């Protein structure tokens, strides 16, 4: 339900429709009654104030966030890969246990060379761009060289067929 009434924002001073102000519900101490009222600042000013508060306090939680990331690298890497696959159009996905088994591979799937942890790439046998899925049957561990070589081979093949 929209209203035609207007109100002046406490922070920016602009006169805006009541729908531009957040609703807040407050309960009485006994919990028997509750009141709903509009906040004195508009939604835009409220979001700006929250963003400024977040930025000013970010230095307090950033070290803890970095420590958590280092302790849970496999988990974050798994979620990043899932998100990338979902955005590329995949509909089937690896489980976290399958991801851990895949990441435990120490050798490249294509050239059998031993992989340093920073040099490992997740490679899709049938690329996501060509309808491949993000499943255990389609995902292998490869070195960066093989992954890039396969990408260039696909591009060269596509160029020659056009």
Q: Tens digits of per-residue pLDDT, 99-110?
A: 999 988 899 999
Residue 117 lies in a domain: yes
79 and 143 both lie in a single domain: yes
If asked whether residues 94 and 153 sit together in one domain, one would say: yes
**Are 62 and 95 in the same domain?**
no
- pLDDT(134) > 70: yes
Q: Which pLDDT band, with edges at 50, 70 and 90, does 116 fall under? A: confident
67-74 average pLDDT score: 92
Does residue 121 share a domain with residue 54? no
CATH number at residue 87: 1.10.30.50
Quick one: 85 and 145 in the same domain? Answer: yes
- Which residue among 70, 99, 118 closes a domain? 70
Residues 139 and 148: their CA atoms lie apart, in Å, by 15
Q: How confident is the model at residue 120 (pLDDT cuts 50, 70, 90)?
A: confident
The number of folded domains in the chain is: 2
Q: At what angle do helices 73-87 and 96-103 cross, to 10 degrees?
A: 110
- For residue 1, pLDDT over 50 is answered with no
Q: Which residues, 6+ apart, have CB-to-CB distance to 77 below 8 Å?
A: 103
**Which structural domain, as residue segments, surrounds residue 128?**
73-161
Q: How confident is the model at residue 3 (pLDDT cuts 50, 70, 90)?
A: low
Average pLDDT, stretch 111-124?
88
Over range 76-82, report the average pLDDT.
93
- Whether residue 1 is contained in a domain is answered as no
| Upper half-sphere CA count for residue 50 (Cβ side, 13 Å) | 7
The reply to whether 99 falls in a domain is: yes
What percent of the chain has pLDDT above 90? Answer: 60
Q: Are residues 98 and 46 in the same domain?
A: no
pLDDT of residue 117: 79
Say whether both 77 and 60 belong to one domain.
no
Mean pLDDT of 54-65: 92
Please tell me whether residues 35 and 100 are part of one structural domain: no
Instruction: Identify the domain boundary among 14, 48, 70.
Output: 70
Higher pLDDT, 4 or 95: 95
Region 84-94 average pLDDT: 93
The pLDDT of residue 162: 60
B/e letters for 106-144, b = 16+ CB within 10 Å, e = fewer, are eebbbeeeebeeeebebbbeeebeeebbbbbebbbbbbe
């Amino acid at each position: 339900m929209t209203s035609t009434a207007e109100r002046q924002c406490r922070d920016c001073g602009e006169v805006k429709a009541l729908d531009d102000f957040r609703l807040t519900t407050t309960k009485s101490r006994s919990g028997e009654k509750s009141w709903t009222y509009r906040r004195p600042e508009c939604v835009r000013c409220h979001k700006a104030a929250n963003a400024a508060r977040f930025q000013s306090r970010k230095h307090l939680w950033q070290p803890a966030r970095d420590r958590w990331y280092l302790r849970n690298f496999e988990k974050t890497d798994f979620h990043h890969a899932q998100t990338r696959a979902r955005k590329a159009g995949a509909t089937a996905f690896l489980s976290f246990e399958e991801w851990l088994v895949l990441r435990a591979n120490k050798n490249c799937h294509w050239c059998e060379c031993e992989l340093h942890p920073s040099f490992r790439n997740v490679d899709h046998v049938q690329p996501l761009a060509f309808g491949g899925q993000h499943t255990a049957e389609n995902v292998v561990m490869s070195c960066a060289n093989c992954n890039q070589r396969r990408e260039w081979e696909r591009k060269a093949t596509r160029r020659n067929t056009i």
